[in-house]
Amino acid sequence: MTKFGFIDRIAPLLTRLRRGAGASMLALAATVLVLTALPAGNAPANTDPQGSMSIEKKHMFVARLIRNYMERRHYVKMPIDDDLSVRVLNRYVETLDPERMYFLQQDVSKFDEIRYEFDEFIEQSRLEPAFAIFLVYRTRVRNQVDTALTLIDKPFDFTRDEYFDVDREDEPWAKTQDELDELWRKRVKNDLLGLIISGKQEDEARETLKKRYTQMRHRTEQLNANDVFQFYTNAYLLSVEPHTSYLSPRASENFRIRMSLSLEGIGAVLQSENEYTKVTRVVTGGPADMSGELRAGDRIVGVGQGDAGEITDVIGWRLDDVVELIRGPKGSVVQLRVLPEKAVAGGDTHVISIMRDKINLEEQAAKKSLFEFEHAERTYKLGVIDVPTFYADFEGRSHGDPEYRSTTKDVRELINELKNDGIDALIVDLRGNGGGALSEAISLTGLFIESGPIVQVRDTSGRVRVNVDPDPSVSYTGPLAVMVDRNSASASEIFAGAIQDYQRGLVIGEPTFGKGTVQNLVPLGQHSRTDVDLGQLKLTVAQFFRVNGDSTQHRGVVPDILFPIAMDSDQEGERSYDNALPWSRIPAADYEPQYTLGDSALLAELARRFDDRKDESDGLRYLREAEEFTASSQQVEQLSLNLETRKRQLEQRRERSTAIENELRRSRGLPPIEKVSDNDLITESDPTSDGDDGEFPPDVLLEEAGHILADLISLKDHATRLAHTGTDDTVEARN
């Protein structure tokens, strides 16, 4: 490895630090790093950072543990080399400054002098360079927050035509301090403009921003050595594969709470995205789900306590702090100020109130519904079983409790009830089902096939284990469809893939998420002789493969009938993750398709009929336009800083939203509405939302799936008649 002058200059300090010189030497090392990264005469006034932190022995111990686990037990055997070194540095810098609003180009250039050294740092469990880079970041945050606070008190010309870059992730780093300050001038102006448009008076908006930026600095100051260690360690782990990560003791506790549901909240999975807290999933049966007002993709920009408490601006907050604000006692109310997924940054926000509670497990259970519809002059009765997750009461089952709940047990009972209702066909609805118990995906598949392998699992050593359905009994033999979408993942993909491989039923919808790997949670404290909490390692240890040999990883399950709302599926789910494992295949398991649904001519005819119908479907047209509307919001690269221009653009979006909504209402014989806000327009990700008209908007996709199944029944009936009579009435069957 080539040694660079930059690291040589701080190497003696780092060596002394490793020998236990402590926090003061780390601060000095950071000072040298800062001074070498800044131009002469531009060193920050505060180069001896307050709250300097020391690397503890436990951090180096955990670093060694993680390296060993990655080398010996991770599913991907990635060499620790120069290529990985560059990726780790880049990801670490991006983790600290994803929008490139703090570091200067000269900072990054100095960091690049050691870009080929991080493989050695990992091998040797050396953490000092990562900590030193963080202290440069902390100093830059202080400087830019000071700049922002100064700018807030200055007047802004909102009649001037200029623009703010919304997404700077791929923009070049600012070359000079003046250039960086100009970026911040536009940012402050944009933030102020957004608050004014949302209804705040200008003086109130300025005070809100002062609090926001002051909190931003405070939260950065509060980051400790455990936080920095987690940032850096995950930069390494996520450079290998996106589902392996280190959870610090604090993050581990939050993870435990979320998994055990031991503390009341709203029932939503959140993540940080730039400076927003984004809702990635609304948990079925949780308070947010029951309210119907919070949706995946929405961004939480403020949190308040009680029905009338002051709402605290949380833009730029760390995720843990936002979560702590949202959690609270059961029965208490939390207010959320939400920027909808469909709104552009700085667009309309609205406030929703949710009563905190535990997740209602009953609401997570499988449910049935029954609806009748007309198709080709015949009335069909369709049974639908919605499976939000794959669940099982393992403790109740092991204790022999006859009342224990599981997905398979519940669905079997629901099928029997629907058969008694005289259904013509059945849909298993897995839209939004992110997975759950693997054993339940296997046993649920067994309700529809006689027996055989369901999924193959390849472990770190390359050994393949085949999981089979041991029960030859079948609960339902009639026409079957499985509905999936971009959020159907893991166990859902195993079930849908097996149904498709056995040609037992149609898979309808969008390409699924593509989560085809298995993770174990490793408590690292088990390797310590003390009681110190060392956090946990979430480690990828295996990969799922379908019985036909295809992986569900990355590609997911591609439906037999693809709904035309699946726009940009390459940017959804696993396919959107950096360093995601690619699709692959292994030899097929020993299985035989037990049915004839995979007949290419039959599938082609079903697809042809759907194609003929979809262009005339008002519902599908509505969902396509809603998807395009949402995509247009997410693709906005610049925002006008002219007040009147900004207002006009927002009004145009509201008018377009209203037009899309009213187009569907007219097709359903409902009166038009005057205006909708951003959060009133549904999209394909939430097609079942109820409006003011009972069942409006309808579940368009479920309706279309029903028509596809009706076509299947019609074609099967035609084939049966042809086999018995020898008469080809294909033309009649198509009408």
**639-662 pLDDT, tens digit each:** 999 999 999 998 998 898 889 888
Tokens standing for 594? 């037990």
CA nearest 638: which of 171, 163, 101, 173? 163
CB 134 within 8 A of CB 227: no
Q: How confident is the model at residue 401 (pLDDT cuts 50, 70, 90)?
A: confident
d(CA 298, CA 312): 17
Catalytically active residues, by annotation? 490, 501, 515
Q: What is the mean pLDDT of the chain?
A: 85
Which pLDDT belongs to residue 249? Answer: 86
Which pLDDT belongs to residue 39? Answer: 36
In this predicted structure, the answer to whether residue 456 has a pLDDT above a threshold of 90 is yes
Please, which residues have CB within 8 angstroms of residue 174's CB and are 6 or more apart in sequence?
A: 100, 104, 105, 180, 183
For the chain, helix, strand, coil in percent to 5 are 45, 15, 40
592: enclosing H helix or E strand: none
Q: How confident is the model at residue 598 (pLDDT cuts 50, 70, 90)?
A: low
Q: How confident is the model at residue 581 (pLDDT cuts 50, 70, 90)?
A: very high
CB 294 within 8 A of CB 268: yes
Q: How confident is the model at residue 343 (pLDDT cuts 50, 70, 90)?
A: confident
CB 305 within 8 A of CB 334: yes
CB 269 within 8 A of CB 294: no
Which pLDDT belongs to residue 251? Answer: 77
Which pLDDT belongs to residue 720? Answer: 66
Tokens standing for 257? 């709470």
Percent of the chain with pLDDT over 70: 84
Which pLDDT belongs to residue 541? Answer: 97
Give the pLDDT mean for 695-714: 87
Q: How confident is the model at residue 48 (pLDDT cuts 50, 70, 90)?
A: very low
Chain segment 462-518, per-residue pLDDT in tens: 999 999 997 899 999 999 999 999 999 999 999 999 999 999 999 999 999 999 999
- Phi/psi for 449 (5° steps) reads -130, 160
> 305 burial class (0-12, 13-18, 19+ CB within 10 angstroms)?
middle
In this predicted structure, the answer to whether residue 98 has a pLDDT above a threshold of 70 is yes
Segment among 247-251, 360-364, 565-569, 609-613 with least mean pLDDT: 565-569
What domains can be seen in the chain, in order of their start residue? 5-238 (no CATH), 262-355 (2.30.42.10), 362-598 (3.90.226.10), 618-698 (no CATH)
Residue with tokens 């696993």: 574
Which pLDDT belongs to residue 270? Answer: 87
d(CA 34, CA 28): 10
Q: How confident is the model at residue 393 (pLDDT cuts 50, 70, 90)?
A: confident
Chain segment 242-285, per-residue pLDDT in tens: 999 999 887 776 665 554 444 467 888 888 887 889 998 888 77
Chain segment 4-45, per-residue pLDDT in tens: 344 444 444 444 333 333 333 333 344 334 333 333 333 333
Give the pLDDT mean for 321-347: 86
Give the pLDDT mean for 516-540: 92
Segment among 266-270, 417-421, 473-477, 577-581 with least mean pLDDT: 266-270
Q: How confident is the model at residue 171 (pLDDT cuts 50, 70, 90)?
A: very high
Which pLDDT belongs to residue 196? Answer: 94
Give the pLDDT mean for 707-727: 77
Name which residue leads in pLDDT, 260 or 630: 630
Give the pLDDT mean for 124-145: 97
Which pLDDT belongs to residue 595? Answer: 76
CA nearest 497: which of 549, 573, 429? 549
Which pLDDT belongs to residue 724? Answer: 59
Strands 276-282 and 268-273: antiparallel
Name which residue leads in pLDDT, 594 or 386: 386
Which pLDDT belongs to residue 254? Answer: 66
